[in-house]
Chains A and B, each alone.
Chain A
Amino acid sequence: MTDIKHDGPRIDEATGVETVGHEWDGIEELNNPLPRWWILSFYACILWAIAYCIAYPAWPMISSATQGVLGWTSRGELAKEMQAQEKERAANVAALADMPIEQLPGNPALMRAAVAGGRAAFKVNCVQCHGSGAAGSKGYPNLNDDDWLWGGDLKAIETTLIHGIRQPGDDQTRFSQMPSFGRDGILTPAQVSAVTNHVLSLSSKAKDSPAGAQLFAENCAVCHGPAGKGMREFGAPNLTDAIWLYGGSRQDVIASVTNAHAGVMPAWGNRLDPVTVKMLAAYVHSLGGGEDFTEQAAPAAPATPAEQTNEQP
């Protein structure tokens, strides 16, 4: 098919332009020069490529690529962006670091910034147990609701976050231990059943018996309170409400009484900086169940002037 003539270039009659000297099935190509603008752009591209190879990382070598004289790296670029972000947030971070968390509601703008920062930190550190919507699951508390084991005001949440729950080595950690009434033989199975009935009766889910009430008063009321309303010092849940961390069915409650549960949470004070912990507390508090700080905050922060700040009465 290809038929290359070897008699070389000739001048095309019709156009007066030299041919390239090849012929393909009678088709010849004129040796018109490239347009000047095209060839100049082409040379410019070559120059650009050479300059680029010198200036930026370009050629793959054995262990890494050539560095480029400008010293540009994508990691450096990222670091620069992170630095810019940090710089932008610096004012808020500094303000948060100085402010006792009880005073945060008095500064709505800072509160919003803290909630936003907390939302991001939550996605990284907390969703593994509490879920991306903070709705928790069996054994992992739902943070949206109004039921708090260890307290739901900003200060209490911050303390829980810093010291964790049942963390060995932290003397301020939230700690309590419910006995395994069934497993350890404190109560017989029949007694467990009776006390379970009493517990369920508190939220009208079962019929109570005098024996159950008696057992409850003797064994459970110390922590859960005589009326079963719970006690936050011990993280003892309120047994009268609709929220059951380990399930509210008869079977679930029997299991809880028999074996007891003792949930744990890391002490985030060891892992995160105080500002991030404050942000997390603000975020969790903002989810809709946060409680107002009721203790008098003023003596805790004598250095900070007047603005004692719980917005709500």
Chain B
Amino acid sequence: MNNPEKIKVPGSHVPGPEKLYEKRKGVYPQKIDGPFRRFKWFVMFVTLTIYYGTPWLRWDRGPYAPDQAVLVDLAHRRFYMFGIEIWPHEFYFVAGLLIMAGIGLFLVTSAVGRAWCGYSCPQTVWTDLFQHIDRFIDGDRNAQMRLAKAPWGPQKIFKRTLKYSIYLLISFWTGGAWIMYFADAPTLTHDFWTGQAAPVAYATVAVLTATTFLLGGFAREQVCIYMCPWPRIQTAMLDEKSLIVTYKDWRGEKRGSLKKAEKSPGEYGDCIDCNQCVAVCPTGYDIRNGPDIACITCGLCIDACDRVMKEVGRPRGLIDYATLEDNKREAAGETPRPVWKTILHLRTLIYLSVWGGLGLALLFALGTRNHTDITIAQDRNPPFMLMSDGSVRNAYTLKLRNMESRPRKMEVAIEGLPGAVMWSEDMPREAAARKIVRDVPADEIDTMRAYVVVPEGARSQKFTFTLRSLDEKGESDSGQTNFEAPGSEE
């Protein structure tokens, strides 16, 4: 029907049909071992442990708050992270963390290139995990390729079913782990399996299972090459001073097998064209073509090439982490700069200072924040009220915020406004005073009506409500508001 072979790029004058669509070429990365592979194992272990395990950590906050160490409690609008509790009005802490994460990516990119992409990006980690499962079920690269080409038969059906089931299981576990961050994990797990969890929990798990299954099981490197914006941003951030995986063409070219090199010594470089670097690449890229979006700088080709170089008795590092500048310098016979010099260049230091400054500012704000807060809303309808003794009353709705996870006594007081006294909705007017003590429940906002009355002859003026916690902390907050009184009219 819609045959792409028939479509021709207008004006390209290339004879014959040209494809605008390229079918995905399967990537079947070969097993490899080496320092970078081990580092990748390590990062995968750490990141997956953090992801799957964090919701199960407990953190005692006393009887008035949940005991889950990391909890995004959307229902009650609280965000818990170990000893820190964030209220919705303090969301700037979360925003700050997100900005830090963004600048952190810049920082990492500036210092060590696409290390995020190569090791700790979830897409990379899960793709890596799924590729291990491929090898576990289908065998290594060649077996996988054979199986892919093989016609459908009992064995292929069995292997595919088994593999996709494992994919699904991991995807389900991944989706299931995500929702644990939003509710008490043990309770939610129980509710989930007994059908009592909220529909949104099932929907979230279903969606995340599907995305993990598709993105990790099938889309894989296409996410990095076609979908992800980050590689595109990074191309603007990388320059000849950036640490990236570099094929040292001056040393490798011209490529030739060992036999050829034996026949005509001197003509060929160190690269024996064994294609091992391509075989192990998780995105199927040939690093010898130079830097590219497809290279996520995981270093597996370095492991592969180093092993081959060792076998053929040539020095390691034909493919290596190096800046393009150093590559040129090395080609010219100079010694490359030490890696720490590469890392500590000006741009990196600027990112580091911005990132660190932001972090310190957040920490400072976190350390000095007030756990007591008052907001005042004055009644507008009616703005003031004449009482039978001629005094004038204004009404206010006060919100007293107790951000500690324990009940506290708090004192609300009028500052300014001579002669004024107040009472609240739950006390008699006779008990009116300039100060009222309230019991504010743990981790809650206490809403209080304050009726402020000023003796006859009051004038409109500004005054202040102050709130003080009657505990060893003695925190306080205050807010200014207006007192309205009738004007000159009788």
Task: Given the known inter-chain contacts A241-B390, A288-B451, please indicate yes or no for A144 contacting B428, CB distance below 8 A.
Answer: no
A243 touches B388 (CB 8 A): yes
Residue picked from B385, B389, B425, B428, most chain A C-beta under 10 Å:
B385
B381 at the interface (CB under 8 A from A): yes
A292 touches B2 (CB 8 A): no
Considering the complex, which residues of chain B in the window 381-396 have a beta carbon less than 8 Å from any beta carbon of chain A? 381-382, 385-390, 393, 395
B425 touches A145 (CB 8 A): no
A145 touches B388 (CB 8 A): yes
A248 at the interface (CB under 8 A from B): yes
Interface string of B437-458 (1 = CB under 8 A from A): 0000000000001010000100
- Interface residues of B, dominant DSSP: loop
B121 at the interface (CB under 8 A from A): no
B381 touches A241 (CB 8 A): no
A146 at the interface (CB under 8 A from B): yes
B2 touches A145 (CB 8 A): no
Min C-beta distance of A274 to chain B, whole Å: 24
Min C-beta distance of A147 to chain B, whole Å: 4
Closest to A17 in B: B6
A30 to B284, CA, bound (A): 38
Interface residues on B, range: 20 to 34
A238 touches B385 (CB 8 A): no
Tell me which residues across on chain B come within 8 A of A132, comparing CB atoms: 381
- Interface residues of A, dominant DSSP: loop
A132 to B382, CA, bound (A): 9
B395 touches A15 (CB 8 A): no
B427 at the interface (CB under 8 A from A): yes
B7 at the interface (CB under 8 A from A): yes
A71 at the interface (CB under 8 A from B): no
A242 touches B456 (CB 8 A): yes
B388 touches A249 (CB 8 A): no
Min C-beta distance of B380 to chain A, whole Å: 8
B346 at the interface (CB under 8 A from A): no
B490 touches A249 (CB 8 A): yes
A135 to B384, CA, bound (A): 9
Closest to A312 in B: B428
Tell me which residues across on chain A come within 8 A of B316, comparing CB atoms: none
A292 to B427, CA, bound (A): 10
Interface string of B1-38 (1 = CB under 8 A from A): 11000111000000001000000000000000000000
B389 touches A292 (CB 8 A): no
Interface string of B390-409 (1 = CB under 8 A from A): 10010100000000000000
A67 at the interface (CB under 8 A from B): no
Tell me which residues across on chain B come within 8 A of A203, comparing CB atoms: 390
Considering the complex, which residues of chain A in the window 1-50 have a beta carbon less than 8 Å from any beta carbon of chain B? 14-17, 32-33, 35-36
Min C-beta distance of B20 to chain A, whole Å: 12
User: Which A residues fall within an 8 A CB radius of B?
Assistant: 14-17, 32-33, 35-36, 108, 131-133, 135, 142, 144-147, 203, 238, 241-243, 248-249, 286, 288, 292, 311-313
User: Which B residues fall within an 8 A CB radius of A?
Assistant: 1-2, 6-8, 17, 379-382, 385-390, 393, 395, 425-429, 449, 451, 456, 490
| Apart from A144-B393, A145-B385, A288-B449: 9 A-B pairs, beta carbons within 8 A | A133-B382, A144-B385, A145-B387, A238-B388, A241-B389, A242-B389, A243-B387, A286-B425, A312-B428
Name 8 A/B residue pairs within 8 A (Cβ), A-sorted. Answer: A15-B8, A35-B2, A135-B382, A142-B382, A147-B388, A242-B389, A243-B386, A288-B425
